[in-house]
Amino acid sequence: MSWSFTPWLRKVTKPFLLPIAKGLGKLGFSPNAITILGLLSYGAIGVVLAFGYRFIAGLMLVILGPLDALDGLLARERNQVSKFGAFLDSNVDRFAEFFLFFGLLYYLFHFRHASFKEAALVLTAMTGSLLVSYARARAEALEFSCTVGLMTRVERLILFGAGLLFNIIIPVLWVLAIFTPITAIHRIIHVYKQYKDQEKG
């Protein structure tokens, strides 16, 4: 299955997010500055979650999550797309997810007296999430397309936010722990097929 929810969501949200991106640009923010602003927002969400404010952290993720898309929108609008900008964004996204999972791990241990199984779930979900993103970054560095899979970053963040808002974070962790590795394997197979097609050509 090569279908992904992300392109559709980007198309639907672009008319709403582009004016915000332009507004930040008028205030003097560069695309890279928005990327860093997004990182700081995820750090703040992780801290709020670690302090036990689960619902507020979920609400912040819903509100601030779209900052992820604003840097790219502004870069394309201003024709400022750069290799360093893409590199920075890719690395910042990994740090952002780490902040979320670290905040969640602290919250589960401190406020819900998490078991080893729950801690393992967090680590498995985080590792799977990072593998999915790494597979794409490495593939694209080798000039393969690699946006396929069920658990792309957008899907992961939507699930994470829903888990916090509706207090179903453990079921969400199970979904992430199972399907992020599957998505990473899907991407490896997808790239392998492209590689074999190139060899045949």
**CB burial of residue 59 (10 Å; 0-12, 13-18, 19+):** middle
Distance CA 60, CA 126 (A): 20
Distance CA 51, CA 161 (A): 17
Query: Tokens at residue 131, please?
Result: 């593998």
Neighbour count for residue 6 (Cβ, 10 Å): 13
- What pLDDT does 12 receive? 87
Q: What is the pLDDT of residues 137-196, one digit of tens each?
A: 999 999 999 999 999 999 999 999 999 999 999 999 999 999 999 999 999 999 999 999
Q: What is the pLDDT of residues 80-96, one digit of tens each?
A: 999 999 999 999 999 99
Q: Which residues of 134-153 are buried (b: 16+ CB within 10 A; e: fewer)?
A: ebbeebeeeebebebbbbbb
Indicate the average pLDDT of the chain.
Answer: 93
CATH 1.20.120.1760 fits 5-200, yes or no: yes
- What pLDDT does 1 receive? 46
Domain positions in the chain are 5-200
